[in-house]
Chains A and B, each alone.
Chain A
Amino acid sequence: MDSQNLLESLLSELDIALFQCESPDDELPNFQLLNEPPSWTSVFQDIARNQPLALTEVFPYLEAFLPEARESWTSTNNSRANSGVWTEVDDEGNNQQLEALALRISGAPILVLLNLTRNFDERHHLYQRAREIALANEKLIVQLNHRQRELQNSLEKRLQDNQALRDIENSVRNNASAVLICKPDGGVEIMNQALIDIYRVKAPEDTNESLLDKWLKEAEKIYPEIHRIVASGSYWEGEFESHNESGESRWIRLAIGPVLDTSHKLTHYVCIANDISMLKKSSAEIEKLADYDFTTHLPNRRHFWKQLTRCLDKGAQKSTSLALIYVDLDHFKRVNDSLGHHAGDFLLSTIGTRLARCIKRGDFIAHLGGDEFAIILELPYPNINIENIAQRVQSAVSKSITIENSTLKMTASIGIALYPRDGRDATSLMRHADLAMFHAKKMGRGKYQTFTPNMNYEFLQMLQLEIDLQKAIEQQQFNLVYQPQVCSGQDHHLRLEALIRWQHPEKGSISPGRFIPIAEENGMILDIGLWVLEHACKQAINLLNEGFNVIMAVNVSAKQVRQENFKDLVKTVLTKTSLPPQHLELEITETTVMEEMDVVVALLKDLRKLGVSISLDDFGSGFSSLTYLKNLPVDYLKLDRAFIHELPANEESKAITTSVINLAHELKIKVIAEGVENQDQVNFLTEKKCDYMQGFLFYYPMEIEKIRDIFTAIRGAANH
């Protein structure tokens, strides 16, 4: 057999038909079949050798492919174009799967037509199976997520309601999901059979290490922020590879939910795990599909890590920079809790789409899970303004979203880390972006923050402080000091503000500015606030009994005010200490009032009915509106020190101070100026008839013994 015949037999055997394009520039060019027609061509009309053939009439699909084909035919760099597979119905009504290749050989424009039908079933079967599995997985994961969250919520509620652990244990004993309920230190309270099956442990005491700690370590490899999230008492969920006692590896989907008691103290963690190994390992094809998040359809965490590593490798090779933007939605859990998980999923999906529109082609966005997104920006030029991009992300998140007749406006806290400045490997870059985000959140949410090296140190300091704060309550390391408020007119009362101080056994005195925000965040403020109220009332009654007509002002936090039984707590303390209510004044910040005005106003009215007076603290520091003052049941208004500090030099502060005093007086509200430090301020405030002044010019905050001395001296002077 000569080589020409051999070649023709081979082409026929491979179901290949070779065509030469006779008029590449024509809109619908003619083709010439170059080899013996393979058998499959017989089921299509008009395909014969040595006859000009309008191939696009036989196969209309090729008409759309011609522009790419022409490019290959005119290209000088041996490029070839592939049409992709298409299915053609032949003259006998059967499906034929075809694919075309366009290339230039020895200057001739060639079109290779391959018939893939013979081996197509195998390929189809693979795709079919992979997509069926992907569909089934998608449904299973949706169901699993909802079931897991429902169980989580139910267990958290039962624990909060103080149901007996034995009853809770019975209810989860045979649950298909693995359930672990443990104390904050990891000590096991409840462990069900499904968990024992996964980890091959016989009983809690058989585990050498706290299972919670083990999970945290395992998950940390792909969720470096997990320690921070769990330590701060937040809900976490994710998927990671876990190993049981015998070293066997499994993929688990884990949710860790903190349980807080009525005083917002962490009492338990509810952990629910499901073995999703089967879903993860079904096939190599599904591995690829497993790179996407089902809720947002964005690349998921796993995909993100691969991409980040790729980008960092590229950055190292080409000495380019990149930015990692970590986006965490503020208060997402509230949406989930109040509107349900479907609403939560819709919110994530909407925000995911918006964020994806914020970035340019070539950048990368992923949904890391829960309320977290990450964006990788390649920075080809050093002068790209990342903050502009962060602002764009903020504004995309904050556009209103309508869900089930509720219109929401979300905000996000954003952390930014730059490669190579803030980290050269994926883990440290991610950890630093997370830390920056955490700091942004601490700044008051809806903010963005770029990583700085001292954040690592600050975070550790803060965590330590949080641990120490718990001990401070138990070991009574707090004490109160008192600052008198001076009357600029005539008042037969002696006014004091009680202020907390923390004497740390090793670090010495710690400012309230450092520990109060932490206590606010973790809920310890409720215990601390109650302690302050009780002690201040005790001191007030002591002073009263000694003949000093005192009014004791006590600061109350937003969290305390939101307690359902706050009024009853105040009443109980007054009864317990025997302090007449008219000698107690509660100071509430204007921010607290503004957050939930209706609820707070109702509470303030109730408190005043008890006989307690109310002062509005830090007035002017937030979004003060003089117009709402008339609706507030307050007796005193404390002008923020920021205005007083600028008196009398600053015209604006003078004008504001004057207006506030005048308006307050018209509303029968008395005014207290805070932070008075010099005589000029006193003169101005006296001229404007400010009722009381408080500041270092008169008295520093001091121990009760010194107060007693001062009051005694005042009484002595008055008697003379």
Chain B
Amino acid sequence: MIAKKICLLGSFAVGKTSLIRRYVESIFSEKYHTTIGVKIDKKIVHCQGQDVQLMIWDIEGKDEFSVYRQSYLRGAAGYFLVVDGTRPESVEVAKEWHTLVNEQSLSLPFVLLVNKSDLFYEQRLKEENLAELTTMGWEIILTSAKTGDNVDKAFERLTTRLLEKS
């Protein structure tokens, strides 16, 4: 069975850990529990006629406390950029992450997840924000770790893309 490392990158409190828990364990907690450093989870998925072990790296949200390490992305086959649809500033952090990945000369498949789509009336990301990213070639999926909307789809999509690339 092949193994693939994927990373979840984004600002703090955008829901990276919740997305993984929803995907791996099918559970969700309303309580915010910050991640320090990295936590690795595993899940075997069946994609394109083969079993793939996903090594899912949940990486600490980017802020003043966090330290970025090149090792985080080493060996990664793809990554998710995660933003919070209620916090436009988290898009800027996602862009910073994207720049960091590029600076490491890594050309990896990635998908932007606009999380917390269940908070319908609190969405502050404008369509223009997303349109700008789409024109840059970014694939965008709206997700909710709380309801599970599009979470499996997002992981399946990234897995497909990284298998296609390999």
Contact = CB atoms under 8 A, between A and B. Distances in A.
Interface of A: 60-61, 63-65, 67-68, 83-89, 95, 97, 99, 120, 123-124, 127-128, 130-132, 134-135, 138, 285, 288-289, 291-292, 294-297, 342, 345-346, 349-350, 352-353, 402-404
Interface string B63-94: 11101011110110000000000011100110
B126 A67 contact: no
Interface string B24-49: 00000000111111111100000000
Contacts of B74: 64, 67
A200 B83 CA distance: 44
Contact of A289 (B35, B64, B87, B124): B64
Contacts of B164: none
B89 A297 contact: yes
Contacts of A95: 39
**A-B residue pairs, 8 tightest by C-beta:** A85-B37, A297-B92, A87-B39, A64-B71, A64-B74, A288-B64, A86-B38, A297-B89
Interface residues of B, number: 38
Given A294-B89, A353-B95, 13 more contacts: A61-B38, A61-B40, A64-B72, A64-B74, A84-B37, A88-B40, A99-B37, A127-B36, A131-B34, A285-B65, A291-B64, A297-B92, A346-B88
B110 interface: no
B65 A130 contact: yes
B13 interface: yes
B55 A60 contact: yes
A97 B35 CA distance: 11
A137 to B, nearest CB: 12
Contacts of B69: 83-84
B63 A134 contact: yes
Contacts of B131: 402
Contact of A127 (B34, B39, B89): B34
Given A64-B72, A87-B37, A353-B95, A346 B126 contact: yes
28 contacts: A61-B40, A63-B75, A68-B71, A83-B71, A84-B37, A84-B38, A84-B69, A87-B39, A89-B41, A97-B37, A99-B37, A123-B36, A124-B34, A124-B36, A130-B65, A131-B12, A131-B63, A131-B65, A132-B32, A138-B89, A288-B64, A294-B89, A296-B89, A297-B92, A342-B126, A349-B89, A352-B92, A353-B92
Nearest to B103: A361
Contacts of B147: none
Given A130-B65, A138-B87, A288-B64, A296 B36 contact: no
Contacts of A60: 40, 55
A403 B71 contact: no
Nearest to B68: A84
B39 A403 contact: no
B63 A289 contact: yes
Interface in B8-27: 12-13
A230 to B, nearest CB: 29
Contacts of B12: 131, 134-135
A566 B154 CA distance: 61
A349 B92 contact: yes
B129 interface: yes
Contacts of B40: 60-61, 86-88
B107 to A, nearest CB: 18
Contacts of A63: 75
A135 B92 contact: no
Q: Which of A132, A138, A297, A342 has the largest number of chain B CB atoms within 10 A?
A: A297
Contacts of A402: 128, 131
Nearest to B64: A288
Interface of A is mostly: helix
B34 to A, nearest CB: 5
B100 to A, nearest CB: 12
A88 B37 CA distance: 11
B50 to A, nearest CB: 20
B13 A135 contact: yes
A84 B36 CA distance: 9
A288 B128 CA distance: 31
Contact of B38 (A87, A128, A130): A87
Nearest to B89: A297
Contact of A296 (B67, B92, B129): B92
A364 to B, nearest CB: 15
Nearest to A126: B65
B134 to A, nearest CB: 13
A561 B129 CA distance: 38
A132 B5 CA distance: 30
B10 to A, nearest CB: 13
B39 A345 contact: no
Contact of B124 (A120, A123, A135, A342): A342
Nearest to A403: B128
Contacts of A349: 88-89, 92
Contacts of A68: 70-71
A82 to B, nearest CB: 8
A89 B33 CA distance: 17
Given A128-B34, A294-B89, A65 B71 contact: yes
Contact of B128 (A89, A134, A346): A346
Contacts of A84: 37-38, 67, 69, 71
Contacts of A89: 41
Contacts of B124: 342
B62 to A, nearest CB: 10
A506 B135 CA distance: 62
Nearest to B90: A297
Nearest to B95: A353
Contacts of B55: 60
Contacts of B67: 84
A448 to B, nearest CB: 26
A404 B93 contact: no
Nearest to A98: B37
Contact of B75 (A64, A124, A134): A64
A492 to B, nearest CB: 62
Contact of B37 (A86, A135, A289, A295): A86
B63 A85 contact: no
Contacts of B129: 346
A292 B96 CA distance: 14
A123 B70 CA distance: 23
Nearest to A297: B92
Contacts of B61: 131
Interface in B114-145: 124, 126, 128-129, 131-132
A138 B64 CA distance: 14
Nearest to B42: A60
A297 B93 contact: yes
Contacts of A85: 36-38
B19 to A, nearest CB: 16
A32 to B, nearest CB: 23
Contacts of B88: 345-346, 349
